[in-house]
Amino acid sequence: MTSAAADAATLPLETLFLSLDDLLLHVFVLVDDLYDQIAPDALRRRPGVHRLKMSDSEILTLSLVQEALSIDCEDSFHRSVGKDYLHLFPKLVSRERYHRRRKALLYLHQMLFHHIARDLACEASHLIIDSAPVETVAFVRSQSGQASIPEASYGFIPSKKRVFFGLRLHALVTSEGAVDSEGAVADFTLVGVYGLAL
């Protein structure tokens, strides 16, 4: 165990986690630095970019944090930022404009996500291979589901002692809990009998 890990192990649990304010600030600094390296020149120098109310880095920060927190409802996330974090984003755009800009920056969002995940995986002390069943249809409807999803198959969930119909997600996860999206096993694979990947 490294000295940093030993120090972290002796800290109270609540000091190991960032507040949402700190998380937003850390992600913004990271995204803003990476934006200049990763974003294509055509995007950074597009017409009217200097007149934008919010920078691309701010939109990407909110988008990445929303995804990291597993918040599916964009409307409630935007409302929460406008209510509680306006001091960090004083020029917050309307939800509709945020949605359009977020959608337009999706490719860059994915590039940043992969870059950050790769950096976290490189710094990880351990990598763990994990898998999870992804049911495509309920087991009772599996006959009709076979026609619509030909890749799906039957598998077994040992912890629940039941059969499922669908796919199995295999992922390489760091000891800190980040999914290594660049890993060779981060993949949806077919499931066979007893949930073994084919």
- If you search the block for the tokens 């409307």, which residue do you land on? 75
Residue 143 domain-assigned?
yes
Residue 122 is predicted with a pLDDT of 66
Q: How many domains does the chain have?
A: 2
Residue 196 is predicted with a pLDDT of 36
Residue 80 domain-assigned?
yes
Which residues, at least 6 apart from 88, have a Cβ–Cβ distance to it below 8 Å?
21, 24, 25, 28
Residue 10 domain-assigned?
no
Considering the domain architecture, whether residues 109 and 132 belong to the same structural domain is answered as no
For residue 116, give its domain range. 17-121
Residue 184 domain-assigned?
yes
Domain end residue (candidates: 86, 121, 156): 121
DSSP 141: G
Beta carbons of 105 and 60 less than 8 angstroms apart: yes
Low-confidence ranges of the chain (pLDDT < 70): 1-17, 120-127, 139-148, 175-198
DSSP 137: S
State whether the Cα torsion 22-24-29-34 is positive or negative. positive
Domain end residue (candidates: 96, 121, 146): 121
